[in-house]
Amino acid sequence: MTTTTLSRTRFKFNLRRWHKALLVSFLIFVLFILETSLNSSLVKTIIFGVMTALTIFSFLWLEKKESWRKRLAKYSLPFILILVTGGYGMIFSLNFISFGIGLLSSISYYFFASRLKLPLPYKVREEVTYYWLDIVIFWVGFLFFVVSYYFIFYLSNFGTDLTRYLIFSSFLFLISFYLIAFSLWARNRHLQEIIFYGLFFGFVVLQFVFIFGFYRMPPFGGALIYLLTQYFFLEMLNLFFRYQFIRRVDIVRLVIIMLVLLVVILLIFKPFLLIK
């Protein structure tokens, strides 16, 4: 064996996909904790930029063989996840809640980046359900609701409350359409189905925003109801696409699960959900 061959063998070090995803997730968590620990707006902004740049770098690091169009479509969800996580760190300081949010966001990123095979092959799209993908989608929707609400109603100057609610409802309509569209794209559904169900859920959310504005619920409580609405809608779609019909017993089961989850979360996190 020559010297050149020996050196190549000695220093060859290939990280597997889950190793890369774990490393990036850990760095995101550390940056988020650092962001929430500091009080300087300038330093927070710099850290937010570093988190965004790290996420973009991870796209190139994890996927080297796919086209740019497919990378953009595939990694748009974790990119929004890091944006809303960094936005939360810009608004709030470090405490137990912020620590948990940073941990859940980094775990969600790891779930996505470590097992990314999207969209599903057409032949197995009916048999496979990406529960980890649904978890990431639910978490992105929850965080987006909280961050956008605090930014629009507490940190910005958009005039009257009506103007703020119009802007907030527009943002929520767009993210709702996107999350459902991404979920259906990942399951290799047809474009017509993606657009129809994305718009349908967006209009459902508009009704939810109207009720939310009428009762002036706290943002975390409203985000919880939004999360449960997402869960119910996606589960109904999963059942419909898999069996081509929805049984009454499935609807009852979903309603019971939602009620149990709502009661458990309210009992455990009631002070947290009432934060204004």
Give the start-to-end residue ranges of the domains of the chain.
Answer: 16-116, 118-276
**Residue 78 — φ and ψ, nearest 5°?**
-65, -25
Gyration radius of the chain over CA positions: 21
For 162, 181, 209, 246, the CA distances from 77, given in Å and listed in that order, are 30, 11, 23, 28
Q: How many CA atoms lie within 13 A of 90 on its CB side?
A: 20
First to last CA, the chain: 69
Token digits for 229? 């609405």
Helical packing angle, 68-91 and 96-114, nearest 10°? 170
Model pLDDT, residue 127 = 47
As averages over each run of 10 residues, the pLDDT of the chain (276 residues) reads 46 66 90 89 90 84 68 83 91 87 90 72 53 85 90 77 83 92 84 87 81 67 82 79 64 70 63 53
Model pLDDT, residue 14 = 66
Look up residue 123 and give its DSSP letter: G
Token digits for 251? 């609807």
Model pLDDT, residue 88 = 92
Nearest to 143 by CA among 219, 43, 64: 219
Helical packing angle, 161-186 and 131-154, nearest 10°? 170
Token digits for 224? 């919880």
Model pLDDT, residue 269 = 55
Task: Give per-residue burial for 100-121: e unless 16+ CB within 10 Å, then b.
Answer: ebbebbbbbbbbbbbebebbbe
- DSSP for 48-69 reads HHHHHHHHHHHHHHH-SSS-HH
Model pLDDT, residue 140 = 93
- Cα 146 to Cα 84: distance, rounded to the nearest angstrom: 9
- How many other β-carbons are positioned within 10 Å of the β-carbon of residue 137? 25
* pLDDT tens track for 202-258: 888 887 777 666 556 677 777 888 888 888 888 777 777 766 656 666 666 667 776
**Contact assessment for residue 105 and residue 32, using Cβ atoms and an 8 Å cutoff:** yes
Model pLDDT, residue 114 = 78
Token digits for 56? 């973009």
- Cα 134 to Cα 183: distance, rounded to the nearest angstrom: 7
- Cα 37 to Cα 30: distance, rounded to the nearest angstrom: 11
Token pair 């993210």 in the structure block, residue: 175
